[in-house]
Chain A
Amino acid sequence: MTTVLLLLLLAVGAYLVAVIEAWTTSGRLRLAAPLLAGIALLGRESIVPRKPDQVFFEVAPVLLLISAILAAAVVPLTPDLIITDLATGALFINAALVYVLVALLMAGWGPDGAYAMIGGWRFLGQLIAYAMLIVMPITAVVMRAESLLTTQVVVSQAGLWNIVYQPLGFVLFFIASMALAFLPPFDLTTSKGELAGGVEAEYTGVRLAIFRLGRLALIITLAAATVVFYLGGWQGPLLPPWAWSAIKILVVTATMLLAGRYMPRIREADLLAWCWMFGIPLALLNIFIVGVLVLVFP
Chain B
Amino acid sequence: MFFIGFFGLAAVWFGIVVFRTFSMVRSALALLFSQTALGAMFLSMQAEFLGVLQIMMMATEMSIMAIFMVMFMMDPGGLGEMDMTHQKRLSLGAGIVSFVAAVAVAVFVDWGPVATVVPDAAQQTIDLGLELLGRSMLIFETAGITILTAMIAATAVAIQPGANSTTSHRRRPVSTNNPLDSGMRRNDER
- Residues of chain A touching chain B, judged by Cβ–Cβ distance below 8 Å, are 51, 53, 55-56, 86-88, 91-92, 94-95, 98-99, 101-102, 105-106, 109, 112-114, 117-118, 121, 124, 127-128, 131, 147-149
Contact = CB atoms under 8 A, between A and B. Distances in A.
B38 interface: no
Interface stretch (B55-63, B83-91, B151-159): B55-63
Given A92-B52, A94-B56, A95-B52, A87 B122 contact: yes
Nearest to B56: A95
6 contacts: A87-B120, A88-B48, A95-B56, A101-B63, A124-B63, A149-B122
Contacts of B25: 53, 56, 105, 109
B121 A98 contact: no
B180 A118 contact: yes
Contacts of A86: 48, 52, 121
B66 interface: yes
Given A94-B56, A124-B63, A102 B32 contact: yes
Given A91-B49, A91-B52, A127-B63, A114 B122 contact: no
Nearest to A91: B52
Contacts of B53: 91, 95
Contacts of A88: 48-49, 52, 121, 125
Contacts of B180: 114, 118
B23 interface: yes
A95 B187 CA distance: 36
B112 interface: no
Contact of A101 (B48, B60, B179): B60
Give 3 nearest A-B pairs by CB, closest first: A114-B183, A87-B121, A95-B56
Contacts of B52: 86, 88, 91-92, 95
Interface residues on B, range: 20 to 34
A53 to B, nearest CB: 7
Interface string B111-122: 000000000111
A131 B56 CA distance: 11
Interface string B99-126: 0000000000000000000001110110
B132 interface: no
B64 interface: yes
A128 to B, nearest CB: 8
Given A121-B179, A148-B125, A87 B48 contact: yes
Contact of A102 (B59, B67, B124): B59
B57 to A, nearest CB: 8
B128 to A, nearest CB: 11
Contact of A131 (B60, B179, B183, B190): B60
A128 B67 CA distance: 12
Contacts of A106: 29
B95 to A, nearest CB: 26
Nearest to B78: A53
Nearest to B55: A95
Given A91-B53, A102-B32, A105-B66, A147 B59 contact: no
A118 B179 contact: yes
A124 B70 CA distance: 13
A171 B31 CA distance: 35
B59 A101 contact: yes
Nearest to B23: A53
A272 B26 CA distance: 26
Nearest to A110: B25
B122 A102 contact: no
B184 interface: yes
Nearest to B33: A102
Contact of B67 (A113, A121, A148): A121
A114 B187 contact: yes
Interface in B13-63: 23, 25-26, 29, 32, 48-49, 52-53, 55-56, 59-60, 63
